[in-house]
């Protein structure tokens, strides 16, 4: 198959983990005879430095011509005091909005060989396999913002249609998985949450095969790490989903292994790790590339329908962990940490048995 992919490395460790994931993508292309055509463009701080714009028109145009987008991460201290319109994060928010990528899928799977890297007890973290479905183009992130010296506000606003489509998406996913859906809100306080809960109740009639529960976000924050095995699909709004997904990464042992897919109703999608640009470790070549490599697997699966290729990447990453190879974020008790490149070499050697690292 021929596919066009726009690659947006971004800032901090973004370029490092993206380079690793692109190497894996190329090896998959070679092994399965796919023609992956890659084009690079700027986003975030890198784009501000070069074009004075966190999401230049050229970047949007290239993404429009593509079948999928692979993104590293944006942001860093260099731009933290910039005015709102010149913040790297705005580039990310704009690309999500421009392409209407309303559904952010954040799978959280416990790799058996990483259980010792999690601060949670083995019996709590093992066998966890859940999917956070985060609404990505609405809510408090995109409502009207105001600020003067005395007052500031961010409007949390959701339309019926915005809630319906993400909830439908979550029901469909739950149906394909273990048939359980937990909707997370703050309906004891927020009107947006009350509408959200009402719509989940309405939609539930169409999915009698899915078991639905409603939970308040504060208690889910607690239950998610005390009893993560309880969850299958968790659907929630933009803000709650952001927070709960970083929290859920604790189950797996590191934020550095959580991938994500930002999709809409056709096959186009944007794929990025859940983590950020990790400025304090950027430039050292020690970042964990697993989250971005697994995001490539999600791209193959969700945008290109390449199930076998996606499974092969997941298998390779899992085998490297099983063999006891970890980057610094996962290493335990004086074990040797692999660099980003060394870890990637191991993954590639799993996929292409003729590969020899230099």
- Distances in Å between the Cα of 208 and the Cα atoms of 66, 172, 177, 222 are 38, 12, 14, 28
Encode 162-208 in three state secondary structure. HHHHHHHHHHHHHHHCCCEEEEEECCCCCHHHHHHHHHHHHHHCCCC
291 is in an annotated binding site: no
Nearer to ligand NAD, 24 or 210 (CB): 24
User: Judged by CB under 6 A, does residue 139 bind ligand NAD?
Assistant: no
The Cα–Cα gap between 62 and 71 comes to 13
Burial of residue 143 (number of CB atoms within 10 Å: 0-12, 13-18, 19+) = middle
State the catalytic residues: 141, 186, 218, 242, 246
Binding at 288: pick from ligand NAD, ligand IPM, Mn ion, none (beta carbon under 5-8 Å per type): ligand NAD
The residue (of 294 and 310) whose beta carbon lies closer to Mn ion is 294
Closest-by-Cβ residue to Mn ion is: 242
Q: Does 277 engage in binding with ligand NAD (CB under 6 A)?
A: yes
CB under 8 Å to 289, separation ≥6 — which residues?
A: 16, 17, 20, 21, 327, 340, 343, 344
Does residue 242 belong to the site contacting Mn ion (CB under 5 A)?
A: yes
For the record, the structure tokens of 233 come out as 């699909």
Q: Which does 287 bind (CB under 5 to 8 A by kind): ligand NAD, Mn ion, ligand IPM, none?
A: ligand NAD
- Taken in order 243, 172, 98, 237, the sign of the CA dihedral is negative
Give the nearest distance from C-beta 125 to ligand NAD in angstroms. 18
Our CB check for ligand IPM shows the closer of 14 and 276 to be 276
Identified binder of ligand IPM from the candidate list 17, 21, 92, 128, rule CB under 6 A: 92
Q: Which residues bind ligand NAD (CB under 6 A)?
A: 13, 17, 73-76, 89, 92, 255-256, 272, 275-281, 287-288, 291, 329
**Binding site per annotation, positions:** 76-89, 96, 106, 134, 218, 242, 246
């Amino acid at each position: 198959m021929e596919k066009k992919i726009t690659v947006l490395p971004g800032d901090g460790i973004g370029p490092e983990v993206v380079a690793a994931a692109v190497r894996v993508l190329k090896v998959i292309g070679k092994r399965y005879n796919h023609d992956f055509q890659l084009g690079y463009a700027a986003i975030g701080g890198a784009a501000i430095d070069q074009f004075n714009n966190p999401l230049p028109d050229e970047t949007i145009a290239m993404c429009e011509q593509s079948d999928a987008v692979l993104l590293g991460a944006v942001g860093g201290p260099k731009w933290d005091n910039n005015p709102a319109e010149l913040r790297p994060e705005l580039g990310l928010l704009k690309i999500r909005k421009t392409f209407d990528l309303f559904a952010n899928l954040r799978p959280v799977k416990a790799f058996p060989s990483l259980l010792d890297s999690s601060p949670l007890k083995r019996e709590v973290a093992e066998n966890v396999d859940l999917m956070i479905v985060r609404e990505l183009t609405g809510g408090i992130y995109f409502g009207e913002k105001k600020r003067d010296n005395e007052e500031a506000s961010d409007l949390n606003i959701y339309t019926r249609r915005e809630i319906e489509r993400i909830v439908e998406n979550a029901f469909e996913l739950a149906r394909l998985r273990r048939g359980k859906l937990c909707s997370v809100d703050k309906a004891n306080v927020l009107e947006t949450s009350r509408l959200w809960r009402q719509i989940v109740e309405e939609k539930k009639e169409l999915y009698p095969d899915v078991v639905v529960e409603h939970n308040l976000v504060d208690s889910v924050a607690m239950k998610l790490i005390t009893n993560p095995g309880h969850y299958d699909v968790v659907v929630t709004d933009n803000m709650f989903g952001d927070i709960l997904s970083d929290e859920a990464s604790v189950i797996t042992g590191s934020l550095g292994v959580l991938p994500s897919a930002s999709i809409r109703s056709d096959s186009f999608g944007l794929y990025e790790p859940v983590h950020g640009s990790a400025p304090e470790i950027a430039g050292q070549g020690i970042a964990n590339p697993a989250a971005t490599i697994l995001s490539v697997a999600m791209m193959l699966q969700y945008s290109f329908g390449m199930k076998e290729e996606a499974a092969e990447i997941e298998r390779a990453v899992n085998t490297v962990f099983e063999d006891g190879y970890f980057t610094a974020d996962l290493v335990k008790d004086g074990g040797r940490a692999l660099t980003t490149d060394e870890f990637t070499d191991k993954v590639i050697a799993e996929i292409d048995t003729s590969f020899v690292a230099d």
